[in-house]
Amino acid sequence: MTFTTPPSSLIVEPQPQPHDEKKHNLTGFIIFLCSESVIFLAFFSGYAVLKTSALNWLPPGVAGLDVHMPLINTIVLVSSSGTIYLAERFKAKENLALFRGFWLLSMAMGAYFLYGQYVEWSGLEFGFTSGTFGGTFYLLTGFHGLHVATGIGLMGLMLVKSFLPGNYEKGEQGVEATSLFWHFVDVIWIVLFILIYLWQ
Amino acid sequence: MTSATFSENFQPEQGSWKRYFSFNTDAKVIGIQYIVLAFFYFLIGGLLAMIIRGELITPASDLVDRSVYNGIYTMHGTIMLFLFIFPVLNGLNNLLIPTMIGAPDMAFPRLNAVAFWLVPIFGTLLISSFFVPGGPAYSGWWSFPPVSIQNPIGTFVNGQGLWITAVALSGVSSIMGAINFVTTILRMRAPGMGLFKMPIFCWTALAAQCLQLVGLPALTGGALMLLMDLSFGTSFYRAEGGGDPVLYQHFFWFYSHPAVYVIILPVFGIFSELFPVYSRKPLFGYVYVALASFIIDFLGLIVWVHHIFPSGVAQWMRNFFMFSTMLIAVPTGVKVFAWLGTIWRGKLRLTTPMLFCLGGLFNFVFAGITGIMLATVPIDIHVSNTYFVVGHFHYVIYGAAVMGIFAAIYHWFPKFTGRMPYEGLGKLHFALTFIGANLNFLPMHPLGLMGMPRRVSSYDPEFAFWNVLASLGAFLLGVSIIPFLLNMISSWVRGEKAPANPWNAIGLEWLLPSPPHEDNFGDFVPTVISRPYGYGSGLPLVENQAAYEQALKEN
């Protein structure tokens, strides 16, 4: 290969890779969440198509879904986005005690949501195979519930990590990703609540 | 520090062939693992193709039973797409992306290895379906309901269930890969390498992986619902339970149409890399070629309904999707004319990779023309479910994409194995492939226009002439793989040692020794100062390029 302007020297200085692994992890996680949201979008659009084209949407003997309890559930879950935000703020201020407190509160609120869903499911008069309504209802709420459970698991992991000596720095980025995941789960639930409970 | 330190700093080449059979996190090892495994499945898929064409050489259904035939074409399509072409492209991505952008490895090396090892797992799952009661899935590689949800009662483990599980796992593996590739390209480029100084292969890989991220979850969601219908008795797609079988077709094609761009975009990248090298000219219209990839992405996501024009979709949808499909010819044409502009009056070197590129481009243009025909609603409705469609997509997939992949393998073989491939065997491979592919797939077009349906093991004798030609072409394609395998194995074992830059190409990967060290550039990350493809411009690609080259000589 020939060059018009040959370099002045033959010296190659070492230049470490300027890569920030924490930022990679967060970028990767955000890309994962974007991809995850498409699965929900597929389910949402499937729900809308099936509902608008159905001749008999609700299974025989089912009048509709009770909105009262899911609404309380929704308020609790959406509020947990606020508590997890506060936890993150205290983490940034290096106030570990308050971080753990609000973090635990968010976990408890998530657990309450799951419990509420369990109570709701056990009182329902239709099953997974009760037509397209039954199938889509359980698929959507179940798939979301799985995400809530995963979120609680991740939060538990971060909480344990915060007690490991010297792991404060390492846990921090996991906290950010977990919190992002939790906000994602909340936003998905809001759409789901509107679609299933309000648009009856 | 002198240039000698450059080579001293590297870890010695460690390990042997055994590392290709282990859980290794080096992207270059994973890349070769992907490619070799993909070609193993390619042989299985190819064997099934030989059975299909053997059956179709005579009008009667005399080679295999009709139900077996259904399983064979289903598995041929599924294996070729999910076990050959996506893995082989992931292999190329693994080899090329880090070395092209000056990164030591992928952003998530362990995730990368996990994504790879899922391939033999779901491959085994899929192929084991030949041995379960009832045989493999038989409803085509798209598995449309209602055929795909006819689960024989009492057989929970069945071919169709295994098919869905394998495809869903393939989706998980591909999403892991996509997250890794996108993060690597966005975050790990060498200093000075802005997006518009990035090689086109990385642009097209980025565009293709973004499509995976948007499309694949929809297919995975749809497949999950199919599995529920098949195994748990729900009625998402069962018309008798209020479900909608066409809904699955939407989910399936929302991914599987863009999937063709996931396949062809990296091949466009390969063309864009190779034409400048073997024409000794800069890539014509670099910026437009780069951006066209994302325009293809956008349009590719809004055209899926053209696959289901005859499935009772609304008229407005037919019109919208016909025009959006036709629009794809514009960004694709930008690329084709850029390549023609690149080779125009260039000093062409007709090496094996260049021949594969030229052959692939020829076939792709032909496939593009029949693609426009298929986008037109009246023609599509006439030829839908005939051999015309089969001919069209085989021109795209084998004629263009697989030929592009062969070009890439021959071109980068010296870089990653350290040995030169044999030119004579390569040219024989090209001649057999090009003639075989055209003899195989061209006759499918008149067959389709005459009305021969696809997915049949017997046909009217009036179709016999073209079918005999197609089958002969297929057997020639089958034979064409022999010189390729011979070449790969023998040149890897005892081929001539490759220099760092045997083709006199410009690119970061060509600064590295052949084969590159485990951490690529190590601590000596080059600073990129000019755009790639500066053939004839005399501009160095990186700062202190002569120092790098000096160090390589001493290495």
Give per-residue pLDDT as tens, B287-303.
999 999 999 999 999 99
With beta carbons less than 8 A apart as the criterion, state whether B179 and B213 touch.
Answer: yes
> Confidence band (pLDDT; 50, 70, 90) for B518?
confident
3-state secondary structure of B524: strand
Looking at the partner chain, which of B104, B183, B543 has a beta carbon nearest the beta carbon of A17? B104
Between chains, do A24 and B107 touch, taking CB under 8 Å as contact?
A: yes
Q: What residues of B are in contact with residue A2 (Cβ under 8 Å)? A: 538
3-state secondary structure chain A: CCCCCCCCCCCCCCECCCCCHHHHHHHHHHHHHHHHHHHHHHHHHHHHHHHHHCCCCCCCCCCCCCCHHHHHHHHHHHHHHHHHHHHHHHHHCCCHHHHHHHHHHHHHHHHHHHHHHHHHHHHCCCCCCCHHHHHHHHHHHHHHHHHHHHHHHHHHHHHHHHHCCCCHHHHHHHHHHHHHHHHHHHHHHHHHHHHHHHCC
B149, B525, B530: best mutation site toward chain A, by most A Cβ within 10 Å? B525
* pLDDT for the residue A170: 58
B3, B10, B172, B183: best mutation site toward chain A, by most A Cβ within 10 Å? B183
Measure A160 CA to nearest chain B CA, in Å. Answer: 24
Looking at the partner chain, which of B217, B236, B549 has a beta carbon nearest the beta carbon of A46? B236
More confident residue, A105 or A53: A105
Q: What residues of A are in contact with residue B228 (Cβ under 8 Å)? A: 128, 135, 139
With beta carbons less than 8 A apart as the criterion, state whether B76 and B49 touch.
Answer: yes
User: Taking the CB of residue B497, how many other CB atoms lie within 10 A of it?
Assistant: 9
In this prediction, residues B36-61 reach a mean pLDDT of 97
Say if residue B16's pLDDT is above 80.
no
Q: What is the mean pLDDT of chain A?
A: 88
Biggest CA–CA distance in chain B, Å, is 77
* pLDDT for the residue A17: 64
3-state secondary structure B178-192: HHHHHHHHHHCCCCC
Q: What residues of A are in contact with residue B504 (Cβ under 8 Å)? A: 1
Measure B187 CA to nearest chain A CA, in Å. Answer: 7
Interface membership of B175 toward A (CB under 8 Å): yes
Between chains, do B187 and A24 touch, taking CB under 8 Å as contact?
A: yes
SS percent in chain B: helix, strand, coil, step 5: 70, 0, 30
* pLDDT for the residue A22: 76
Between chains, do B244 and A56 touch, taking CB under 8 Å as contact?
A: no
| Cα separation, B216 vs B255, whole angstroms | 6
Q: Which of residues 3-22 of B touch A (CB under 8 A)?
A: 3, 5-6, 9
Between chains, do B3 and A6 touch, taking CB under 8 Å as contact?
A: no
Q: Which of B18, B163, B6, B183 is nearest to B93 (CA)?
A: B183
* pLDDT for the residue B28: 95
Say if residue B162's pLDDT is above 60.
yes
> Tokens representing B195?
């997006």
Q: What residues of B are in contact with residue A126 (Cβ under 8 Å)? A: none
Cα dihedral sign for B530, B531, B536, B540?
A: positive
Dump pLDDT digits (tens) for B221-257. 999 999 999 988 899 999 988 899 999 999 999 999 9
CB contacts < 8 Å between A and B, how many? 169
In this prediction, residues A118-122 reach a mean pLDDT of 95
Between chains, do A28 and B225 touch, taking CB under 8 Å as contact?
A: no
User: Taking the CB of residue B91, how many other CB atoms lie within 10 A of it?
Assistant: 26
In this prediction, residues A137-145 reach a mean pLDDT of 96
Minimal-distance CA residue of chain A relative to B521: A17
Is there a cis peptide before residue B12, judged by omega within 30 degrees of 0? Answer: no
Dump pLDDT digits (tens) for A3-61. 444 444 556 666 666 677 778 889 999 999 999 999 999 999 999 999 998 888 898 88
Biggest CA–CA distance in chain A, Å, is 86
Q: Which of A192, A121, A181 is nearest to A148 (CA)?
A: A181
A34, A38, A55, A188: best mutation site toward chain B, by most B Cβ within 10 Å? A38
* pLDDT for the residue B152: 63
Measure A58 CA to nearest chain B CA, in Å. Answer: 10
Minimal-distance CA residue of chain A relative to B5: A12
> Confidence band (pLDDT; 50, 70, 90) for B10?
very low
Interface membership of B98 toward A (CB under 8 Å): no
| Cα separation, B223 vs B143, whole angstroms | 9
Say if residue B104's pLDDT is above 60.
yes
In this prediction, residues B162-184 reach a mean pLDDT of 96
| Cα separation, B183 vs B185, whole angstroms | 6
- Kindly tell me the burial class for residue B58, based on how many C-beta atoms sit within 10 Å of its own C-beta (0-12, 13-18, 19 or more): middle
| Cα separation, B95 vs B99, whole angstroms | 7
Q: What residues of B are in contact with residue A49 (Cβ under 8 Å)? A: 244, 247, 250
Interface membership of A173 toward B (CB under 8 Å): no
> Confidence band (pLDDT; 50, 70, 90) for A89?
very high
What's the ipTM? 0.89
3-state secondary structure of B346: coil
3-state secondary structure B98-136: HHHHCCCCCCCHHHHHHHHHHHHHHHHHHHHHHHCCCCE
3-state secondary structure B206-249: HHHHHHHHHHHHHHHHHHHHHHHHHHHCCCCCCHHHCCCHHHHH
Interface membership of A97 toward B (CB under 8 Å): no
Dump pLDDT digits (tens) for A6-15. 444 556 666 6
Between chains, do A28 and B180 touch, taking CB under 8 Å as contact?
A: yes
> Tokens representing B329?
């010819």
Report the DSSP beta bridge partners of residue B528.
B542
Q: Which of residues 104-143 of A touch B (CB under 8 A)?
A: 128-129, 131-136, 139
Between chains, do A50 and B187 touch, taking CB under 8 Å as contact?
A: no
